[in-house]
Amino acid sequence: MDRQAPRFAARNREPASQPDEFLIVCLCADWCGVCREYRAGFEEVSRHFADARFEWLDIEEQADDLGDIEVENFPTLLIRRRESILFFGAMPPAPAHLERTLRTFQRQTVDESHEYAASSPERRSWQVNEDLRRIGSRGAAR
């Protein structure tokens, strides 16, 4: 067996992970002590996911990137797999919680992630929210 062959997801026969398969954006504020403490852990988690792009978005310095999105609790995270937004909301400021969440999403096939993103009214609303879709797109939220 060729050890260099890509891993394949069982259902859709696509490579299980590709560079930038996932996007994780943390929406925080520099003035927030919880955010400042969380950042090192967020960056540490990023080192464990070669198939993901992690971004830190300061909601005040980069307010134009948010559109009409209101951030009420910190940290607030957006997790997207390809075009499917899987999570948007406050998350406990525990890097281990983020890592477990990402591992769960990583175990899904692309089709399962797409189904999950459409599995509730709230998640379906994320998929059509232009402001959420713009976060982390190339050229925004750096």
> Where along the chain do its domains lie?
22-134
CATH 3.40.50.11260 fits 22-134, yes or no: no
pLDDT at 18: 63
Q: Is residue 74 a contact partner of residue 35, using CB atoms and an 8 Å limit?
A: yes
Q: Report the greatest alpha carbon distance in the chain.
A: 53
- Strand pairing partners for 84? 81
Taking only the tens of pLDDT, the chain with its 142 residues reads 333 333 323 333 344 456 689 999 999 999 999 999 999 999 999 999 998 999 999 999 988 888 889 899 999 999 999 999 999 999 999 999 999 999 999 999 999 999 999 999 999 999 999 999 999 875 443 3
pLDDT at 62: 87
Residues 6+ away with beta carbon under 8 Å from 12: 109, 110, 111
pLDDT at 78: 97
Q: Is residue 26 a contact partner of residue 77, using CB atoms and an 8 Å limit?
A: yes
pLDDT at 14: 46
- Which among 38, 44, 28, 116 has a CA at the least distance from the CA of 78? 28
Task: Please work out, in degrees rounded to the nearest 5, the angle formed at the alpha carbon of residue 24 by the alpha carbons of 99 and 15.
Answer: 80
Tokens of 37: 């403490």
Type and span of the H or E element at 81: strand 76-81
